[in-house]
Amino acid sequence: MRLAPTTILAATLALAAVHCGAPITNTPVNDIPKLTSLTIVMDNQATVADPQWKKIGATSYVDADWAAFTLVSERIQATSLKTKDFTKGPDFDALATKLNDKAKALGVAATAKDSAGASAALGDMKATCKECHSKFR
């Protein structure tokens, strides 16, 4: 069987898209303090947080969202503390602290099932990530 060039091109592009972006990294929260590189810490953050960004601005969430927000809060709190082990100076550390505070706010909102608070916390977290990446990436 011979494949058309457009089929081969489409398959190649699909494979390339799968391999773009941060690797999926799900280190257990209790093991995050043991991580040995900033890249792995950041991959953990991206794995848990990036899927939640599309929920910013929603006016209501379902139980699965609240559970995901709780996981995001726990993991980002742990990873944001760990990033300070790989400090790039006081501005970097301040952004890590800011991210930690926003992750705590997400956890509080998730526990209370506060949609406005969760959306705000997610938006603040994403903005903090973008600010840090623009300065240090």
Give the CATH number, domain containing residue 132. Answer: 1.20.120.10
pTM: 0.82
Q: What's the structural domain count of the chain?
A: 1
| 12: in domain | no
- Residue 4 backbone phi and psi in degrees, to 5: -70, 150
Residue 49 in domain: yes
34 belongs to a structural domain: yes
Number of residues written out for the chain: 137
Phi-psi region at 113: left, alpha or beta (left = phi > 0; alpha = psi -120 to 50)? left
Residue 84 lies in a domain: yes
- Domain range for 69: 24-136
**pLDDT (0 to 100) of residue 13:** 42
How far apart CA 118 and CA 136 sit, in angstroms, is: 27
122-137 pLDDT, tens digit per residue, is 999 999 999 999 999 8
Question: What percent of the chain is modeled with pLDDT above 90?
Answer: 80
